[in-house]
């Protein structure tokens, strides 16, 4: 539903002369219209393009232990892995492995890339110089350094753990045992949550999806990291020595974990009132930002009902058309934290300094 632009209400002081104000406004508008606009050159356009790309917010670091909930065809999981931003990734989906294959015919190829210890070029992801000491990552020269493996795993262990049949509202109950070896998490991500179905009853869909979000918030909250319950993160040898010798070097995993939920903009998603739902669950929205589709190369929005290949929502060639192209719609990511969480022990300035040194 589009928004009607409300005309600005005219305000005037009884001491003012309305006609004088009107002429003053007209003169100002005329002067603005006469001002010449500079012509954009190729260099300026390239600069603006680079600035726009730099503004894309990817809220992950190599110190993150990320749980992805409600994955469909796992294209986001693969895109995040290729970014090499997150330290450890655990990708989960609601469907069983067999049901998943019927919904998304190409999903097995994606899962193979997620679980493989080689990169997309077929090269070894670990190299001959890799040293595995506890949770230490691959050396800096490794193609997928900092992807994260469990303690004691061999170099060929899958860099991304894939779990099937994980219900987002039962993370802390039914699936507690399955997630115990990976928790706690610095980030728990649920992109485009939806109960599914093709119902056109808006009120019913809003109510069901609100119940889904509330159940997810309550289940995810106990799995978040905190200063007193740090997540297992990957440190190189120098960082481990600094933490043991210098009390100023805090554990990067000792941070307040965050829940990230991405929703499409506009109705009916605004009717879900995610901020109110979060508040009732003891959470707070600390920030929100435009979801950067272009940052996650290869990611496309997968419908809960699966990859539709027939029917009125497909062209003759079986390609998606119309409203099915979710990745062409604007979306917003909401970042939530426990509203009663204690202050983080890990200074942000020191973490940023370490990340800057690593990128040099």
More confident position, 152 or 20: 20
> Which residues have C-beta within 8 Å of that of residue 138, sequence separation ≥ 6?
125, 126, 127, 130, 144, 145, 146, 147
Q: Cα separation of 282 and 319, whole Å?
A: 43
Q: What is the pLDDT of residues 31-67, one digit of tens each?
A: 444 455 555 555 555 445 445 545 789 999 989 999 9
Cis amide prior to 184 (ω within 30 degrees): yes
Supply the pTM of this predicted model: 0.69
Domain boundaries, the chain: 65-117+153-240+249-309+322-338
Kindly tell me if the per-residue pLDDT of 313 is higher than 70. no
Among 66-80, 139-153, 194-208, 256-270, where is mean pLDDT lowest? Answer: 139-153
Kindly tell me if the per-residue pLDDT of 28 is higher than 90. no
What architecture is the 65-117+153-240+249-309+322-338 domain classified under in CATH? 3-Layer(aba) Sandwich (3.40)
Q: What is the pLDDT of residues 272-294, one digit of tens each?
A: 999 999 999 999 999 999 999 99
DSSP helix, strand, coil percent of the chain (3-state; round to 5): 35, 15, 50
Q: Would you say 296 and 57 are in contact if contact means Cβ atoms under 8 Å apart?
A: no
């Amino acid at each position: 539903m589009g928004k009607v632009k409300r005309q600005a209400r005219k305000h005037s002081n009884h001491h003012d002369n309305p006609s004088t104000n009107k002429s003053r406004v007209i003169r100002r508008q005329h002067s603005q219209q006469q001002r010449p606009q500079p012509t954009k050159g190729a260099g300026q356009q390239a600069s603006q393009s680079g600035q726009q790309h730099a503004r894309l917010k990817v809220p992950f670091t190599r110190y993150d232990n990320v749980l992805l909930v409600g994955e469909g065809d796992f294209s986001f999981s693969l895109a995040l892995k290729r970014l090499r931003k997150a330290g450890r990734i655990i990708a989960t989906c609601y469907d069983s492995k067999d049901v998943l294959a019927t919904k998304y015919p190409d999903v097995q190829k994606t899962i193979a890339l997620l679980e493989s210890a080689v990169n997309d070029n077929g090269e070894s992801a670990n190299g001959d110089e890799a040293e595995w000491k506890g949770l230490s990552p691959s050396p800096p020269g490794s193609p997928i350094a900092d992807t994260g493996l469990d303690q004691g795993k061999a170099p060929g262990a899958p860099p991304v753990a894939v779990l099937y049949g994980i219900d987002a509202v039962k993370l802390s109950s039914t699936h507690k045992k399955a997630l115990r070896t990976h928790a706690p998490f610095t980030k728990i991500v649920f992109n485009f949550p939806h109960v599914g179905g093709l119902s056109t009853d808006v009120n019913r869909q809003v109510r069901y999806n609100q119940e889904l979000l509330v159940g997810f918030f309550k289940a995810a909250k106990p799995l978040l990291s905190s200063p007193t319950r740090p997540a297992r993160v990957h440190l190189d040898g120098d960082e481990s020595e600094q933490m043991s010798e210098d009390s100023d070097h805090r554990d990067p995993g000792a941070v307040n974990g965050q829940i990230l939920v991405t929703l499409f903009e506009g109705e009916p998603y605004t009717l879900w009132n995610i901020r109110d739902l979060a508040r009732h669950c003891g959470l707070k929205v600390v920030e929100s930002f435009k979801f950067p589709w272009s940052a996650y190369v290869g990611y496309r929005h997968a419908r809960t009902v699966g990859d539709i290949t027939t029917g009125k929502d497909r062209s003759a060639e079986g390609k998606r058309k119309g409203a099915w192209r979710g990745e062409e719609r604007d979306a917003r990511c909401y970042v939530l934290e426990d509203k009663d969480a204690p202050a983080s022990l890990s200074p942000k300035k020191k973490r940023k300094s370490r990340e800057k040194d690593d990128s040099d």
